[in-house]
């Protein structure tokens, strides 16, 4: 699950500001990018709206992929985030808060170059929290036959991206771009500008897009005959455009690389896949990628990584190893006895978590009356088993005093698969917050055969037993 060696999360050393119009909305936007705490990821905040809503940069929040990627939640939408997101990935920034007083990230020159320069000037600061890279366990593919799109993530030890484009254009031809090492992003990919075809400009304007576009923030490809009417209409919006004689680029723009369009598509892939929300290693090969395909692919990757993550979080139970506490030691701590002691072993114990084992057999007394002939362990007893396991963590062990634990609240309790005789429950309890005044809040998960059987947030109170209670 982890990458080679210890890697830490990073944020900005100081904040930076950038202003400019959004390419599609045309609105002038002031953007301030600030450092953020570990494990918070990239968040966008609309400071121009009431309550200053925050939108997490996550594929689940994507609402539009028409010529750019837009995210929305809490009543706030932000357009064209992909170039900034790619810059964060390329510069190794894991956590940042992006404040905007408008609805679109400034387009600038249509690349990630200015963002990379600003991040470099602000500085990137290491945070003392580990960064986990998840590995792709098998090939993951996305195919859109109608658009001719094919994307695949191959298991790999690092992050590598290849992009291939073919627009059936005599000017562009078939192009390929590659990024073998993310360290090369700054020089090889970040300067590459967005592009479109001259014959698309009319459609884009008719659909209220590129309102903030000008000849300085995109490469425009001219590969079809241009009519006088087209030129007249477009000059009303872009008075300084110059049409090349024959085929070429608007205003005879010089490309920064021979394959700049393919490199920009690779940039977009990196920016959109950053919305997976997890750092991962893979070799990405993208043929004819676009924002819609990138986002669909990102959703598949996120789904896969969540399964890998869940599998990595399952405690390892080796029955050949002696437990930390056997059932007799557990009896000395917990105020439970047959038939209500639901923890057989404790195999792991730290200051913040405990892992216990419960072996379920046909001889459990509750099976006689709960679904006779169709043995299913009651869900309430699964919650009780978690609570008892949590008691081992919560009850003080460096005293001769006896304690009882009482349920105060159960939240978000979910039962995901039935528990039957022969199952071995791995009970995992972890503190959500430090114990205060005898109040304990824990996240509990029960695993059976590598899958989650139940989970809940449990709140309990620890109460010292009096001699009268004994």
Average pLDDT over residues 434-452: 90
Helix (H) or strand (E) holding 337: none
66 and 139, same domain (yes or no): yes
Contacts of residue 181, Cβ cutoff 8 Å, sequence gap at least 6: 158, 160
Are 360 and 455 members of one domain?
Answer: yes
Q: CB burial class (10 A; 0-12, 13-18, 19+) of residue 433?
A: exposed
Token digits for 341? Answer: 């002691």
79: exposed, middle or buried (Cβ count in 10 Å: 0-12, 13-18, 19+):
buried
**431 is a domain residue:** yes
**What tokens does 110 get?**
């249509």
Highest mean pLDDT among 26-30, 140-144, 401-405: 140-144
Reported confidence tier of residue 117, pLDDT bands at 50, 70, 90:
very high
Predicted confidence (pLDDT) at residue 2 exceeds the cutoff of 70: no
CB atoms within 10 A of CB 314: 16
Among candidate residues 235, 255, 275, the one where a domain is terminated = 255
The answer to whether 293 touches 299, Cβ cutoff 8 Å, is: no
Contact 427/343 with Cβ under 8 angstroms? yes
pLDDT at 44: 98
Catalytic residue among 10, 24, 291, 428: 291
Number of domain units in the chain: 3
DSSP letters for 320-332: TSPPSB-HHHHHH
- Mean pLDDT of the 414-424 span: 95
Residue 9 CB partners (closer than 8 Å, separation 6+): 38, 39, 94, 95, 126, 127, 129, 130, 131
- Average pLDDT estimate for 349-375: 93
Is residue 409 over pLDDT 50? yes
Q: Do 414 and 450 share a domain, yes or no? A: yes
Mean pLDDT, range 328-352, rounded to an integer: 93
Known catalytic membership, residue 291? yes
The Cα 140–Cα 284 span in angstroms is: 10
The dihedral sign for the CA sequence 212, 218, 222, 224: negative
26, 114: one domain:
yes
Domain boundary among 211, 235, 255: 255
Same domain, 199 and 145: no
Does 201 lie in the same domain as 184? no
Count H helices and E strands in the chain, helices first: 9, 25
How many CA atoms within 13 Å lie on the side-chain side of 62?
27
CB 133 within 8 A of CB 280: yes
CB 21 within 8 A of CB 28: yes
Q: What is the pLDDT of residues 53-102, one digit of tens each?
A: 999 999 999 999 988 999 999 999 999 999 999 999 999 999 999 999 99
- 277, 356: one domain: no
pLDDT at 246: 61
For range 442-457, the mean pLDDT: 94
Q: Which of 137, 143, 135, 176 is nearest to 159 (CA)?
A: 135
Same domain membership, residue 386 and residue 339 = yes
Asked if 223 and 292 sit in the same domain, the reply is: no
pLDDT(418) > 80: yes
Residue 390 falls inside a structural domain: yes
Domain end call among 211, 230, 255 = 255
- Strands (E) across 36-132 are located at 42-46, 54-56, 62-64, 70-73, 76-78, 96-100, 124-130
Q: Distance between terminal CA atoms of the chain?
A: 49
| Whether residue 428 lies in the annotated active site | no
Quick check: is 316 in a domain?
A: no
- Is residue 349 in some structural domain? yes
Q: State the pLDDT at residue 329.
A: 93
Q: Report the distance separating Cα 97 and Cα 52, nearest Å.
A: 12
Identify the CATH number of the domain in which residue 421 sits: 3.10.129.10
Q: What is the CATH number of the domain that holds 148?
A: 3.30.230.20
Helices 82-91 and 113-122: angle between axes, nearest 10 degrees? 40
In a domain, 319, yes or no: no
- Domain limits at 285? 8-191+260-311
Handedness of CA 28, 34, 40, 41 (dihedral sign): positive
pLDDT score of 391 more than 50: yes
User: Closest Cα partner for 451 from 404, 411, 396, 414?
Assistant: 414
Secondary structure percentages of the chain, helix, strand, coil, to 5:
25, 35, 40
Q: How buried is 4 (Cβ within 10 angstroms: 0-12 exposed, 13-18 middle, 19+ buried)?
A: exposed
d(CA 129, CA 407): 33
User: What sign does the CA torsion over 34, 186, 7, 306 have?
Assistant: positive
Q: How much of the chain exceeds pLDDT 90, in percent?
A: 67
Q: Are residues 267 and 239 in the same domain?
A: no
469 pLDDT more than 60: no
Do residues 298 and 242 both lie within one domain? Answer: no
The phi and psi torsions of 181 (rounded to 5 degrees) equal -140, 130
Written as one string, the DSSP assignment of 362-389 is TT-GGGGTSSTTS----HHHHHHHHHHH
Examine the domain organization and report whether 274 and 249 are in the same domain. no
Select from 57, 64, 120 the least CA-distant residue to 92.
120
Q: What is the pLDDT of residue 208?
A: 66
Kindly tell me if the per-residue pLDDT of 277 is higher than 60.
yes
At residue 372, does pLDDT exceed 90? no
pLDDT at 1: 42
CB 112 within 8 A of CB 221: no
Is residue 131 left, alpha or beta, with left meaning phi > 0 and alpha meaning psi from -120 to 50? beta
Measured in residues, the chain has a length of 470
**Nearest to residue 22, comparing CAs of 238, 161, 214, 197?**
214
Catalytic choice (176, 237, 336, 370): 370
């Amino acid at each position: 699950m982890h990458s080679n060696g210890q890697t830490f999360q990073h944020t900005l050393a100081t904040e930076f500001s950038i202003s400019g119009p959004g390419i599609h909305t045309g609105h002038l936007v002031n953007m301030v990018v600030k450092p953020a705490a570990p494990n918070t990821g990239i968040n966008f905040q609309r400071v121009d709206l009431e309550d200053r809503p925050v939108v997490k940069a996550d594929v689940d929040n994507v609402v539009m992929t028409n010529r750019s990627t837009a995210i929305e939640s809490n009543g706030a939408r932000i357009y064209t985030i992909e170039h900034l997101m790619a810059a964060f990935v390329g510069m190794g920034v894991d956590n940042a808060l992006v404040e905007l007083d408008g609805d679109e990230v400034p387009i600038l020159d249509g690349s990630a170059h200015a963002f990379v320069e600003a991040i470099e000037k602000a500085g990137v600061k290491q945070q003392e929290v580990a960064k986990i890279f998840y590995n792709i366990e098998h090939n993951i593919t996305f195919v859109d036959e109608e658009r001719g799109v094919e994307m695949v993530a191959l298991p790999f030890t690092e992050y590598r991206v290849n992009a291939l484009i073919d627009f059936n254009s005599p000017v562009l031809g078939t192009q390929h771009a590659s990024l073998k090492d993310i360290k090369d992003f700054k020089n090889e990919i970040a300067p590459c500008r967005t592009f479109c075809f001259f014959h698309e400009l009319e459609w884009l304007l008719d659909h209220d897009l590129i309102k903030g576009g000008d000849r300085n923030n995109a490469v425009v490809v001219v590969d079809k005959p241009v009519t006088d009417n087209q030129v007249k209409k477009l000059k009303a919006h872009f008075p300084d455009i110059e049409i090349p004689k024959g085929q070429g680029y608007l205003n005879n723009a010089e490309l920064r690389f021979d394959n700049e369009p393919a490199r920009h598509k690779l940039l977009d892939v990196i920016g959109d896949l950053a919305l997976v929300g997890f750092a991962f290693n893979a070799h990405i090969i993208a043929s004819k990628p676009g924002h819609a395909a990138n986002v669909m692919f990102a959703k598949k990757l996120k789904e896969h990584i969540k399964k890998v993550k869940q599998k990595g979080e399952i405690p390892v139970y080796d029955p050949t190893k002696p437990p930390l506490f056997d059932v007799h030691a557990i009896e000395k701590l917990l105020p439970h006895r047959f038939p209500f002691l639901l923890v057989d072993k404790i195999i792991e114990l730290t200051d913040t978590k405990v892992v216990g084992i419960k072996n379920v057999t046909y001889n459990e007394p509750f099976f006689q009356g709960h679904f006779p002939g169709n043995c299913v362990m009651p869900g309430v007893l699964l919650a009780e088993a978690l609570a008892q396991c949590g008691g081992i963590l919560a009850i003080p062990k460096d005293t001769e005093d006896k304690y009882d634990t009482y349920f105060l609240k159960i939240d978000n309790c979910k039962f995901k698969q039935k528990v039957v005789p022969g199952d071995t429950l791995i009970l995992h309890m972890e503190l959500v917050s430090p114990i205060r005044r005898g109040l304990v809040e824990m996240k509990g998960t029960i695993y059976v055969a590598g899958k989650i059987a139940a989970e809940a947030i449990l709140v309990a109170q620890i109460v010292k037993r009096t001699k009268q209670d004994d």
